[in-house]
Amino acid sequence: MGCDRAHPARDVVSHSRRKSLGSSELVSNTSGVVALREIFDESDIEWITEACQDPEIQRWTLVPRPYTRDHARHFVEHPEMEYWRWIVEQDDTGTPVGLVSIHGVNDNGDAEVGYWVAPWGRGMRVMSSALARVMDAAATDPSIRALTARIAEGNTASRRVVQRAGFIEVGRIESGCRDGDSPTDALLYRRAL
């Protein structure tokens, strides 16, 4: 769980430019542990709503609190809110266990990634596997040179996720994330592609 969209105002490459890369073939890309699905539909509203009731997701991300079905519906129906986004599913069952997205790409080619794992998907290292697939997808986009993640210093689980995926810590941002309702320092991680 990164500090999703703590700083939404930034130069980004348009979502429509990324869509022209023929990314639909990545829908079935698997690693033996997870599958990534780009197509969101009505059936995703329920599980996203349920997952976003989780105190840890609410603590470390910027999901609205309280999180309602209307919030989930808006997210599902508006893919343009993110540069690129996927549902993370268990490969063997197809059960949705999390979300991962690239929020935007700055002029230097750094693409910020954010993610969360539903309570029923934790402890299986699904997000580290999903990030490997996201890196593969990002490498097909000529405007992306590196992935970055901004994670609250106290969010050790998310820090372990990016470390397992090969990200390295490159800096600190004072009050760059939140811990519940309070600002907290963020650690900045980066992985060149």
Contact 147, 191 (CB under 8 A): yes
Could you tell me the pTM of the whole model?
A: 0.85
pLDDT, tens digit (0-9, with 9 covering 90-100), for 80-134: 999 999 999 998 899 999 999 999 999 999 999 999 999 999 999 999 999 999 9
Closest CA to 2 of 146, 148, 115, 156: 115
| Three-state secondary-structure class, residue 78 | coil
Instruction: Name the phi and psi angles at 164, rounded to 5.
Output: -65, -30
Helical (H) or strand (E) element with 60:
helix 55-60
pLDDT, tens digit (0-9, with 9 covering 90-100), for 18-32: 443 333 334 334 455
The sheet that has 110-117: what strands, in order across it?
34-37, 84-90, 96-105, 110-117, 146-152, 182-192, 168-179
Number of Cα atoms under 13 Å in the Cβ half of residue 43? 5
Domain boundaries, the chain: 15-143
The answer regarding whether domain 15-143 maps to CATH 3.40.50.2300 reads: no
